[in-house]
Chain A
Amino acid sequence: MGATAVFRTCPTTGLKVDRDAESLIRWNAVAAVVFLAIGGTFALTVALTRWPAVHLLPPDWFYLALTAHGLDALLVWVIFFEMAVLYFASAVVLNSRIATPKLGWVQFWLMLIGALMTNVAVLQGDSSVMFTSYVPLQASPLFYLGIIVFAVGALIGCGVFFGTLVVAKEEKTYQGSVPLVTFGALTAAIIAVFTLVSGAIILIPTWLWSMGLVSTIDTLMYKLVWWAMGHSSQQINVAAHVSVWYLIGAVVLGAKPLSEKVSRFAFLLYILFLQYASAHHLLAEPGVSAEWKVFNTSYAMYLAVMGSMIHGMTVPGALEAAQRARGYTNGLFEWLRKAPWSNPAFSGMFLSLVFFGFVGGISGVVLGTEQINLIMHNTIYVPGHFHGTVVCGTTLAFMAVTYLLIPLVFRREIKFKKMAQLQPWLFGIGATGISMFMMGAGTLGVARRHWDITFADAPMGFDYPAAAFLMMGLNGLSAVLAAIGGAMYVIVTVASVFFGRKLAENENYLGFATAGEGIAPTYGSSKHHAIPGTVVLVAIFFVAFVLYYFVNWKYLSEVWPLS
């Protein structure tokens, strides 16, 4: 089989690229972008409806659009793109052929068909149950079946990834241990298996129930197992986008990890502690003991959080060390000022890193604190938090790496370069805006998944403070900004991939400035350059974290006592 694989050599990185792997990466990435466009369109209609002065959609369409937005953005866009990342991080990065390309295509078609089935179910209007589909609300059987088919596809994709690692090892396509990016992708894939199996355990009985073959599903059990899929899959996203950060740092700045040991240890923490994640979603539930909540919600003393905090230093630290090795040693931040900001892969990556840490990361830990959860649970603070993680973090990182994939994998020249350079900024700032304003509205008590906070059709009213309306309006404005940024991404990607000039076989082209070549900072241990700039950034982050954490305890202490 190995003999049948056809390779080309990448003129930019010198890597050997299996043509089958290349097509699979291309098609998965294209599918991802298409669903991002659909999910993003729904997002805009949702956000405009929640802008009280606009209130775009009628209620049934709002709940339908919100269901479709959650599914297409969180599930379909992210997981399709992750399949592309897995194939890239295995076959391409390891110089290997891809194991069983045929199964790779099975992955692609199952996921596509599954996604279409679920979308059809939602658009038919009888499955507006939100992407969480909490029982006993019931969607049509097609809704659950589509997700199951999609998940089976993704599971097969993980299998192809593991197979490729084995092939690469046996055929000795690399020396020593796998690269860090591949290690991070491996982390993501291992977590994905746990996640997808949990998904099957809960969705298959729910599907049978929707056809009348199972009589009841316990609501609490459903939530526990559903979130073993739903939250653990967020660890997949984190592992994947952290790998992408390292990847972009390597390609654009020639950055090496400061310490392979530290970075890999941080990934390992994700694997060891992911299975506790589901508990976040049960903090406000009856029937669960406090001990269980405290232990699980903290991932056994915040060890997975520690993993992310470590990456929070080692990712920018690797960039700084590389830049300092290149001679940008003035002051604390010359390395950062002189970074290739004109390259959207870099600007997107750095914004993703900062916003993920400051917006998504801090709010996540606070929200997941057992008692503090009481003053935030199911308010619009929750979508505020996770747009900080999955939009500012994951989505922006994936957008950024697309600007490398277009030349390296699609072998096309990038079209509309000015637009591409502006894109991460508009999208990043817009996405941060929606995160912050939804969080702000949530602390004022605004409910998530709610069509009308004026309660105009309700038998009685309740007046939210004016500031809450202001926040929801600012959220709408930010959403417009983010939607423009998202549309620019789709335009640049589609135009380049389908209409960009084809690159010649041996054309070394990356489209945008990089930090130049010829540096290989030594890593590991005390040998790397000191990273004072990163230390300052990390210190600011830590102070913000601690303050925000205790401020929220203060808020909690002011609400009605309860026990």
Chain B
Amino acid sequence: MAIAPPSERVWWNEPIARTELVWMIVAFLWGVIMFFTMIFWHIYGEQNLATESYRVNPESFAQRADEMIEQYTVREEDGFPVVRPPPGSEVYLIARAFQWYPLLELQKDKAYRLHLSSVDVQHDFSLQPVNINISVHPGYEHVLTITPTTLGEHGVVCNEYCGLGHHMMIGKIYVTE
């Protein structure tokens, strides 16, 4: 029994039954397959999280964001500027308690370089209903290349608890033709 010492003293020399041996091999190979699937996706897949990141101080990040906002704001909504940067440009999204700032308007099937950073605590960029979720840290600037493929209004929810107003933190990304 499992609560008694092994009845064969030299238990490590016992042969292994075929059933178990086969399963161990299957389990091992499945692990190898799953491992290489991730690598495969890095080479051939289209959804890989960028690793381009920089240490940044919040003021410098906010300043660059403000420059973009000044240049490309097209309208206001609920007191937030809606910014429509040209395709291929550097797009900044500030996370702060409890806002995603500014609102963005992007064009479908065009690539943008999206810079994410927080100016206070940790937040989490959750693009809905697409369901892409990325951590946002203060002090780190994360640069991703994204290509919107779905038209219309998208919500940016905050997915990391960031204080009592966490559930009020919501932004928007509009995608137009």
Contact = CB atoms under 8 A, between A and B. Distances in A.
Contact of B129 (A255, A309, A465): A465
A290 interface: yes
A541 to B, nearest CB: 11
Contacts of A370: 38, 41, 49
B137 A310 contact: no
Contact of B148 (A286, A557, A560): A560
Interface of A: 13, 15, 59-60, 63, 93, 128-130, 134, 136-137, 174-181, 218-220, 246-247, 249-251, 254-262, 283-290, 294, 298, 301-303, 305-306, 309-310, 313-314, 317-318, 365, 369-371, 374-379, 443-445, 447-453, 455, 457-462, 464-465, 520, 523-526, 528, 530-531, 534-535, 538, 542, 545-546, 549, 553, 556-557, 559-563
B108 to A, nearest CB: 10
A298 B150 contact: no
Main secondary structure of the interface of B (DSSP, over half): mixed
B49 A562 contact: yes
A347 to B, nearest CB: 19
A122 B125 CA distance: 27
A256 B129 CA distance: 51
A220 B140 contact: yes
Interface of B: 1-9, 11-12, 14-20, 23-24, 26-28, 30-32, 34-35, 37-39, 41-42, 45-51, 53, 77-80, 116, 120-122, 124, 126-135, 137-142, 144-150, 155, 157-164, 166-170, 172
B31 A259 contact: no
Contacts of B142: 286-287
B1 A256 contact: yes
Nearest to B109: A561
A41 to B, nearest CB: 21
Contacts of A175: 5, 9
Given A298-B35, A303-B31, A459 B168 contact: yes
B50 to A, nearest CB: 6
Contact of B34 (A317, A369, A458): A369
10 contacts: A175-B9, A179-B2, A251-B3, A256-B1, A256-B2, A302-B30, A462-B157, A520-B7, A563-B50, A563-B145
A258 B20 contact: yes
Given A371-B45, A462-B157, A462-B170, A284 B135 contact: yes
Contact of A255 (B1, B162, B172): B1
A562 B48 contact: yes
Contacts of A262: 16, 20, 24
B47 A371 contact: yes
Given A302-B35, A549-B34, A563 B48 contact: yes
B55 to A, nearest CB: 8
